[in-house]
Amino acid sequence: MMLIRFYTAMWVMLLTACSPTPETTTMNVQLNLDQLAEQYVKLALKIGQHHPSYIDAYYGPASFKPIQEKTSLETLLVSAQELRIGIEKVVIKPALYQRQELLIIQVRSMEMFIRLQLGEHVSFDDESKGLYDAISPTISETQLDSALIELDKLVPGEGELNNRLNHYKKQFVIPLDKLDAVFVAAIDEARKRTKQHIQLPAQENFKIEYVTDKVWSGYNWYKGGNYSVIQLNTDFPIYIDRAIDLASHEGYPGHHVFNSQMEQHLVNNLKWVEFSVYPLFSPQSLLAEGSANYGIEVAFPKAERLAFETEVLFPLAGMDPTQVERYYQIQDKLSLLSYADNMVAKRYLDGEINREQAIELLMKYALSTKEKSMQRIGFIEANRAYVINYNLGQDLVREYVDKMTGNGDHDRRWQVFADLLANPKTASMMKTAR
């Protein structure tokens, strides 16, 4: 009997000695998730070998970059599926739930992207859900027609609305020899306003370049180390309202700040390596584009924007500042047509209309010139369902911020917005957040 008790006691001691403490368990779980995050980064970089635009930014370890020839897409799809299952199986503490959920959704997006590269045909909605974790609401031509009727009453002149609008807007084109002065003034003001609410690293900075022959109007190339190259495409006229839009969207508090916040808080501080890579065709882009668009109105509430344009930008551009109010009345009505791009892209990519019909619909409902509409179709052909990220992304971010602030004061709005940039969520995560 004593011998049994002795062995029982020894067995309990052995089990106790071998059982991990809570601290050890946490460390091992963290290590497992970190290892899976490394696999995610390496897999993203391998997928990037198959598409020149897939990796928008990377500032992680150089050793993660693939040095061998391309891995087949079929093999990469299996790797993505296995990685997702591995992440789903990790048992973690509540503090890491958001990190795990975001990783799972990002890897699901990888799977969809690979399937598309393999030539699989999916509908526009299935593609957008798979890549960006969101589906754009269905917009009918009847809904857009009502916005056109309102615009028709505002735009001066006679004849077809598209021609009248584009003729009216010519007076608001920023002359090329004044573009740099106007844009620098806009981005300096956006930067000043952002820094009043978001703490940015002392060394953060950017460079502005003016380029041509692109399918986009502006682009932020984030280089890591809190530094960006911001490019503006001068192929087409840049209207005065685009100065603040582009300065805020590409710079402050848009893409530059978003990437800088992720690098600072998640990569440098928490050592979450998955945020050192930015796959362009992923749920991360819906938040990136949506927050960049929403950030315009956060940095420049309507009354303040009109005042700054009147006092600073219109004079710098050599324009009549008394035209500001009417110009923005028309811009407000044009915003009612923002989902026209989504409607046209969906119908075109789903094969319901051909290219010429798509261009005609853009000319009618986006009220763009034929040349500009052709450029937009080029963007849709190159980036497909990505178009939903701008308008739907903006609406989802606005809804999230409103929900979390209870439509509170402006400082509270900045606080929630800044936290979202530093702690990213996908579309479904924003919808279910409390």
409 DSSP 8-state letter: -
Is residue 33 assigned to a domain? yes
* Boundary of a domain, candidates 121, 156, 173: 121
Q: How confident is the model at residue 26 (pLDDT cuts 50, 70, 90)?
A: very low
E strands along 234-379, which residues? Answer: 277-279
32's enclosing H/E stretch is: helix 22-48
The pLDDT assigned to 124 comes to 98
Q: How confident is the model at residue 345 (pLDDT cuts 50, 70, 90)?
A: very high
239 DSSP 8-state letter: B
| pLDDT at 29 exceeding the cut of 90 | no
CA 355 – CA 351 distance, rounded (Å): 10
For residues 262 and 191, membership in a common domain is answered with yes
Query: Could you tell me which residue, 6 or 125, shows the higher pLDDT?
Result: 125
Is residue 411 assigned to a domain? yes
Is residue 129 assigned to a domain? no
Query: Could you tell me which residue, 178 or 236, shows the higher pLDDT?
Result: 178
* Boundary of a domain, candidates 121, 151, 169: 121
* Boundary of a domain, candidates 121, 156, 181: 121
For residues 280 and 405, membership in a common domain is answered with yes
The pLDDT assigned to 169 comes to 93
pLDDT digits (tens, 9 = 90+) for 411-430: 999 999 999 999 999 999 99
| pTM, rounded to two decimals | 0.90
For residues 86 and 223, membership in a common domain is answered with no
Q: What's the start-to-end Cα distance of the chain, in Å?
A: 59
For residues 389 and 335, membership in a common domain is answered with yes
Q: How confident is the model at residue 182 (pLDDT cuts 50, 70, 90)?
A: very high
Which residues, including other chains, have CB under 8 Å from residue 270's CB and lie 6 or more apart? none
Is residue 97 assigned to a domain? yes
| pLDDT at 260 exceeding the cut of 90 | yes
Is residue 254 assigned to a domain? yes
**Helix, strand or coil for residue 336?**
helix
| pLDDT at 118 exceeding the cut of 80 | yes
**Helix, strand or coil for residue 159?**
coil
- The structural domain count of the chain equals 2
For residues 233 and 106, membership in a common domain is answered with no
E strands along 154-214, which residues? Answer: 205-211
For residues 182 and 263, membership in a common domain is answered with yes
For residues 57 and 159, membership in a common domain is answered with no
Q: Which residues constitute the domain of residue 304?
A: 141-432
Q: How confident is the model at residue 10 (pLDDT cuts 50, 70, 90)?
A: very low
The pLDDT assigned to 408 comes to 72
The pLDDT assigned to 406 comes to 85
Report the half-sphere exposure of 335 (CA within 13 A, side-chain side).
Answer: 13
Gyration radius (Cα) of the chain, Å: 25
Is residue 2 assigned to a domain? no
As given in the structure block, the two tokens for residue 383 are 């980036």
The mean pLDDT value for 372-385 works out to: 95
Among 214, 230, 212, 210, CA closest to 222: 230
Angle between helical axes of 124-132 and 388-405 (0-180°, round to 10): 50
Asked if residues 363 and 341 have their Cβ atoms less than 8 Å apart, the reply is no
The pLDDT assigned to 92 comes to 86
The mean pLDDT value for 43-62 works out to: 96
Is residue 16 assigned to a domain? no
Mean pLDDT of all residues belonging to the chain: 91
The mean pLDDT value for 316-335 works out to: 92
Asked if residues 232 and 217 have their Cβ atoms less than 8 Å apart, the reply is yes
Report the half-sphere exposure of 85 (CA within 13 A, side-chain side).
Answer: 6
For residues 60 and 115, membership in a common domain is answered with yes
For residues 208 and 276, membership in a common domain is answered with yes
Q: How confident is the model at residue 12 (pLDDT cuts 50, 70, 90)?
A: very low
The pLDDT assigned to 24 comes to 35
pLDDT digits (tens, 9 = 90+) for 277-310: 999 999 999 999 999 999 999 999 999 999 999 9
The pLDDT assigned to 31 comes to 53
For residues 96 and 148, membership in a common domain is answered with no
For residues 171 and 310, membership in a common domain is answered with yes
Is residue 94 assigned to a domain? yes
Q: Percent of the chain having pLDDT more than 70?
A: 93
pLDDT digits (tens, 9 = 90+) for 184-213: 999 999 999 999 999 999 999 999 999 999
For residues 201 and 104, membership in a common domain is answered with no
